[in-house]
Every structure is written in C-alpha cells, then in structure tokens.
Amino acid sequence: MSETSSESWKRRFLYTAKSDDRSRMRAVANNLILHLHPTKVPAPALRWSYTWGLGGISALLATLLALTGALLMFRYDASVERAYTSIQFLETQVFFGSLVRAIHHWSANLLIVTVFLHLLRVFYSGGFMKGRATNWLIGIILLMLVVAFNFTGYLLPWDQLAYWAITVGTSLLGYVPLVGATVSNFLLAGPEVGQGALRNFYAIHVAVLPAVLVLLMSYHFWKVRKDGGISQPEAPAAEEGKKRRPFQRLTTIPHLVRLELTAALVVIAILVLWAMLVPAPLEELANPAHPTNPAKAAWYFMGLQELLLHMHPLAAMIFPGIVLLAIIVIPYWDKNEAGIGIYFRSPVGAFMALAGAIFALASVPLLVLADEYLIDLPALLPTWPTLLSNGLIPLLLSLAGLAVIYAIMRLGARANHSESLVGLFTFVVVGFIILTFIGVFFRGANMAFVIPF
C-alpha cells in the first residue's frame, strides 16, 4: 500500500523513535515549530505575495534587537557624564562593537518600516475581519510600542542628534491635550532632558517595553492561531448542490518553514551587509546650550512635526489623533466581510486605492506650498485667536476634505463602503508619507522650506 502524504510527512519530520542525536534534535526543533504554527496551512495563506512575510520579518527583527541590545548593555553607561564616551568606546575599542551597534540601529529603523507595511498588508487584504478585530487592536499597540522603543533608544547615545530630537519629540508630546504635559514631565523626570530623562528612558527601553512587547507579541501570535490561522480568500464556489471544496492544505514542515527560513536568511544577510557599510550615526556630545538648526524630531515623527508648521499645535495633535482612532475602529467601521483575503477587496477597491494615492500625491504638496507661500489665516483673520484661525479652521477643513473624498468615491465613483474606505485610507497613508518626506528632506535652517538638490 502506498504511503499517504500525511504519513510521509510524519515519517520524515516527526519520527522520534530513533535515538541518535540528529533525530532527537530534529524532533525537538519540529516540536518547537509546531508550537508556533499549526501542522498544516491552507495553500493560499502560503503565497509569498500574500503576507510578504512582514509579520515574521518584524518578529525576526525584534529578536535581533533583543540579542544585539543585550550585547550593547555590557558596555553602555546611562549617565550623562559617561553615556557618550561609553558609545565611543564601543565604537572604537570593543571587538565588533561598531557592527553590533549598527545592526541594532538599522534593525530598529527597519522594524518601524516592516511593522507599518505589515499593517498596510493586513488592512488591504481584509486581515482584520472575521473575528480578527482584537488582533488588529493588539497590532496597533505593538506598532506604538515599536515607536516607543525607537524613541526611548534615540536618547541613549547622548549626542547632539539624540538630545535635540528628544527635546523636540517630547515638546510635541506636551501639546497632547490634558495629559501631554504630565506625561512629558514624568518621562523627562522634570521639565527638560537631563540625567533623570536618560535614566527613565534607559529603564523604559531595556526593561518596561521589552516585557510588554514579549507579552503582547506572544498573545498576537497565539491569537492568529486561535482565529483560525491568517486570513485567506473564500474557497471557490462549488458546483450546484455540492459543498464548497476547501483549499488544499500543505504541511507547515517543510512548506512554511522553508519560506520563513529563506526570508530570515535574506533579511539577516542584507542587514549585516548594510550595517558593515553604514555605521550607526554618532554626532558630537550633547550640548543643551547649543540647539542644532534645524532641530528635527526622529524621521518617523517628521510627519507630525511638519503638520505643526501648518496648524496650531492643538489642532496638529487632534487631527492625527482622530485619524488614529478611525484606524483603530476599522474592524467595527467596516463590517462587510466580502473580499477577505483579496488585496484591496475588489478591482473597484484597487482603483479607489490608486485614485486616493494619486490625489494625495497631487494635493498634499500643493497644500503645503500654498500654506507656506500664499495662505496666512492668522493674518486674514487678525481679530480671531490663533487657536481658532490657525487651529479650528484648518482642522475642520482637513476633516471636511476627508469627508468629501469619501463622498466622491461613494457617490461619484459608486464604490461601496469598504472600497471607499480603502481609497480614503490610502489617501491618508500616502499624505502622511509625503508630509514625512517633506519634513525630512525639504526643511532646512529654522524649518524653512528648502530644495535639497
């Protein structure tokens, strides 16, 4: 009798009766893998172009960060007198110190990108549907944790870049209504960045955040399994009178593991090569008396800092706050489960996404330039308090602009609610990326608009 595929799989990968060391090690490794994954996965979920491996790559980067971070802790000293020199020592005197620091630095930056792209993939493929709302919410908290990790780590080298980016970053926090100033004071252990802030940031970076991240990441993975594995398209409809035939299921070992290992090796190879060629930055020792000009926040906050140049600080915090809230509630806002597992939900959804992206590319730079050179609301309404002229008015106009985009997609292009949300979401994401680009590359001394080339 010929062997079935499941028997062959068990024989090759789960057979533990042999007592030689290699079989035992293989059994242990396989058991570990099968604690993380189900034994079989539907074929569509295995398509590389479905997940792009982004969740797994994010997990890999988090692991690399933990390993390299642990090594850095052996030499780093969290005191304002010695932090900078301990990093210099690491860079010049410690065997492979510079490489370990560069891997840590670049993995941290890449992690922000991969987690953000993972969020986009989950949104566009409807991965938040069918009972996955909790994991969507956990994911958003994970994204915030990753940003918090980067933010707290930024200060540790105690160079000019670190000092002024954190000073700007925490001043942005101060604009958050009601709690902002208290949180900023608590984080900095006082009104300014100093020894208290360095000690707090270090403790949060190496103890508090890792503990929360490990807990939430474990829950995130467990929940993916609990929710029935990752999302996938509906199986093709069956012929008349017959039941829907489920997709073919492939064994995790070797099919999924082979993909994961390949992705991990490629990411590690590229990262190490990049870290060998581009060292982590280290400017002069922090000098609280000499601000850098321009004083910019870290790149992932530059979209917010750019917004602050165009609106009253309160409005510039409320607007992204409303957008974030809308993203958090997406699973409840869009309950239509049609199109799960299909990118952009439908061809109309894909068209809406394209339209949203093109419209953002055309309108956001124009609005920035118009506000820079043409429109001056406080001058047009001199008797109004700036909170109204430069706060409430631009805030309401921005929200109305988003509502108009949604309405045009719904009524003008006859897209359904989900497809219109895909278009609106794309507009917001592309708009935010453009603001970030403008903030990073097109702002010079005193944050004036400059052409970088």
Site for ligand HEM, rule CB under 6 A: 51, 54-56, 58-59, 62, 115, 118-119, 122, 125, 127-128, 132, 135-136, 139-140, 142-143, 146, 217, 220, 224, 230-231
Query: Cβ contacts of residue 440 below 8 Å, gap of 6+?
Result: 296, 299, 302
Q: Which amino acid is at 382?
A: P
Residues 6+ apart with CB under 8 A from 336: 416, 417, 418
Q: Using CB atoms, what's the residue nearest to ligand HEM?
A: 139
Give the phi and the psi of residue 247 in degrees, each rounded to 5. -65, 155
Close Cβ partners of 398 (under 8 Å, ≥ 6 residues apart)? 319
Which 3 state secondary structure label does DSSP give 43? helix
- Shortest distance, position 282 Cβ to ligand HEM, whole Å: 27
- The answer to whether the CB of 427 falls within 8 A of the CB of 298 is no
Task: Output the smallest distance, CB 78 to ligand HEM, in A.
Answer: 25
Where would I find the beta strands (DSSP E) of 69-195? none
Q: Which is nearer to ligand HEM, 127 or 303 (CB)?
A: 127
Q: What is the C-alpha to C-alpha distance for residues 356 and 330, in angstroms, rounded to an integer?
A: 17
Cβ 136 to ligand HEM shortest distance, Å: 4
How crowded is the C-beta side of 270, counted as CA atoms within 13 Å?
10
Nearer to ligand HEM, 63 or 386 (CB): 63
Rounded CA separation 216/230 (Å)? 17
Nearest approach in angstroms of CB 345 to ligand HEM is 13
Minimum gap (Å) between residue 142 Cβ and ligand HEM? 4
CB atoms within 10 A of CB 79: 14
Q: Judged by CB, which is closer to ligand HEM: 157, or 349?
A: 349
